[in-house]
Structure 1
C-alpha cells in the first residue's frame, strides 16, 4: 500500500503531464488534419471564400468539420482520458448516480439565466479600453472579427444535413471533450492544489473562457464555466455539466439555422434583445431560486461529502 501511495503524482506533476499531453495530441492531430486538407485540396481560406458551400457537404466544409472535430478530440478529449489511464487512483470523471431532476434543473437554470446572460454579453461585447490601451483593443477586435468570420460560415446553414453535422461537431463533441478536460481533469488537479472548491471552480472557468480566445465574449463564458463547475460540485456527476454544455451550444446552433432559413444574418444572431427591468429582475430571482433548489437537493442526497471534496 505504501509503495502504491508513493507512486501517486503530486497535483503539479499531474498538471504538467496534462499540459504535455495537450500539446502533443493537439499538434499531432492538427498535422493529421492538414494532411486531410492536402488530400482533399482544401484549406480554411478556401472554405471562407466559397460562395455556396453552406448548402452541401463540399470538400472545404468537410475539411473544416474534420479540423474542428480533430482539434476538439486532440486538444481536450485525448489528454484527459489518457491522464485518467495513467492515474487510475484519481477519479477524474465522476459519475455518481443522481436523480433525473438534476438534469432538468441544469437546463432550467440556463433558460432562466438567459436574459441576464444576454445583458452581460452585450456589456462585454461593447466594452472599450482607455486610450493608452487602444492598440490592444484594436488587436482583440481584429482577432474577434476573424473568429466570427469562420463561425458565421460554419453555423449559418439552411440544410438539415448541415444542421445535424453542426450539432455533432459544435455541440456534442465540445460538450463531452471540454467538460472531461476542464470540469474533469483540470478541476480535480486544481482542487488538490488550492484545497478550496470555489477558487478551483472560478480559476477553471477563467481558463475555460480564455482558451477560446474570444475576448468580447469572455465574461459570459466565465460564468458558464462557473455554472458547469458548480453543477459538477453539487452532483459529483460529470454528465450534468455535459448536458448543460450541450444544451447551450446546441441552442445557438439551432437558432443560427432558424435565422438562416428566415433570411436573417449572422449579425442579427449576434444582436442582443433589450428587455424591461422586470424581465431581468425575474431572471435573477428565478435563477437564484433554481440554484438554491439545486444545492438543497444535492445536500439531501449527501453528494458534497464525496468526490471533489
Structure 2
C-alpha cells in the first residue's frame, strides 16, 4: 500500500519532478565526481583524443580508489538524491514513501537471498539465449566492444590485491549501488508507476526495462531485466525497500566474491573470466525454483501484503486541495504501508 502525494501534483507532475531531479543530479554528479581525479590526470589528457583513448588514460590501476569514489558520487547524485528529494517534495514523509520505515524480518530476508541465488541460472540462461539470437556480425561486434569497455572499468574499480581491497569493493561496488539503485528504481519509479497505472505488474515490467537499459549492457539486457523483475516483485508485495537492498546486495556481492576468488593475488582482475552462462534448461529449473520460493515468500509475508499498488492517506494528514482525494474512496483510511 502506498500513500497519496501530500502536495498538489498529479502523476505527470510527479514524474516530471523526478525526471528534473535526475537531470540535475546527472549534471552536478558528473562534475563533482571528477574531483577524485584531480592531480591524477591532466586536462590535456582529456582533450585531443578519442573517448576510448581518454578512458584508457583514466582506467589504470593507480586510479582504482579515485574511480571508486567517482562511482560513489555519480550514483549518489543520480540514483539516491533525486528520489529522496522527489519524495520529500511530493509526499512529505520521504522515508515512509520510499519504504525505509519497515522492519526487516529475518525469514523474509533469507527467502529473498535464496530467490536471488535461484535466479542465477535464469540470468545465465538468458545471457546464453541473447547470444543465440541471429544478430548481424557488425551488431554483435558492437555489443561485444561495449562489454569489453564495461569489463575494463570493472577490472580497475574492482581491483582486489588483498582481503582489505575485497571488503572495500563489497562496500563500494556491492552495497552502496544496491542502496542507491533500489531507492531510485523501486522506491521511486516503480512506486510512482504502480500508483499511476493501477497495474503494478505493468509498473514492474516498465521499471525493469529502464533498470536494465540504464546499465548499458546489450548482451546482458535480458539478464538484468529478469533481476529487475524479481526485485520489483519483492517490492510490490511488501513495500519494504530493505528487502530489495538485501537481494540486490547479495547479487552484487556474490559476483565480487567470485571475482576475488578467481583472481590470483597481484594479478589483473578480469571479469570476463567469470562464466555466467548456463544451458537453457538450467533457466527453466531456475524459474521453477523462483516460483516456488515466491509462493513461500507470499505465505510468510501475508501480514505485510495489504492492497499493494493502492493509495491511502497518510495517517492524520488531511489536504482538501489534494487532486487525488475527490475521486478517492480511501479518505480517512489510516492504514500504513
Structure having the larger proportion of residues in helix: 1
Cα RMSD (Å) of the superposition?
Answer: 2.7
Per-residue deviation, 1:7: 3.9
Which residue in 2 is equivalent to 1:303?
Answer: 305
Tell me, in whole angstroms, the C-alpha distance in 2 between the residues paired with 1:5 and 1:226: 25
The one of 197, 202, 215 aligned to 1:194: 197
Please list the CA deviations of residues 130-158 of structure 1 after superposition, one character each: whole Å capped at 9, or x if unmatched. x4xx5444433322221122122333523
The one of 286, 290, 296 aligned to 1:293: 296
Which residue in 1 is equivalent to 2:162?
Answer: 159
Any gaps of 5 or more consecutive residues in structure 1?
Answer: none
Tell me, in whole angstroms, the C-alpha distance in 2 between the residues paired with 1:5 and 1:13: 11
Going from structure 1 to structure 2, the CA distance change for 1:135 and 1:161 (only over 3 Å counts) comes to same
User: Is 1:12 matched with 2:12?
Assistant: yes
2:98 alignment partner, SS class: coil
Which residue in 1 is equivalent to 2:85?
Answer: 82
Per-residue deviation, 1:8: 2.1
Going from structure 1 to structure 2, the CA distance change for 1:89 and 1:125 (only over 3 Å counts) comes to farther
The one of 45, 69, 73 aligned to 2:56: 45
Going from structure 1 to structure 2, the CA distance change for 1:191 and 1:283 (only over 3 Å counts) comes to closer
Per-residue deviation, 1:306: 5.3
Which residues of 2 match residues 132-171 of structure 1 at below 5 A?
135-171=138-174
Per-residue deviation, 1:221: 0.4
Which residue in 1 is equivalent to 2:118?
Answer: 112
Tell me, in whole angstroms, the C-alpha distance in 2 between the residues paired with 1:5 and 1:122: 43
Which residue in 2 is equivalent to 1:73?
Answer: 76
Which residue in 1 is equivalent to 2:98?
Answer: 93
Per-residue deviation, 1:304: 2.9
Structure with more contact order per residue of length (Cα contacts < 8 Å, sep ≥ 6): 2
CA contact (8 A) 1:163 1:257 kept: yes
Any gaps of 5 or more consecutive residues in structure 2?
Answer: 43-53, 312-337
TM-score (normalised: structure 1): 0.84
User: Is 1:211 matched with 2:214?
Assistant: yes
Going from structure 1 to structure 2, the CA distance change for 1:81 and 1:92 (only over 3 Å counts) comes to same
TM-score (normalised: structure 2): 0.78
Please list the CA deviations of residues 252-273 of structure 1 after superposition, one character each: whole Å capped at 9, or x if unmatched. 0111011103878533214535
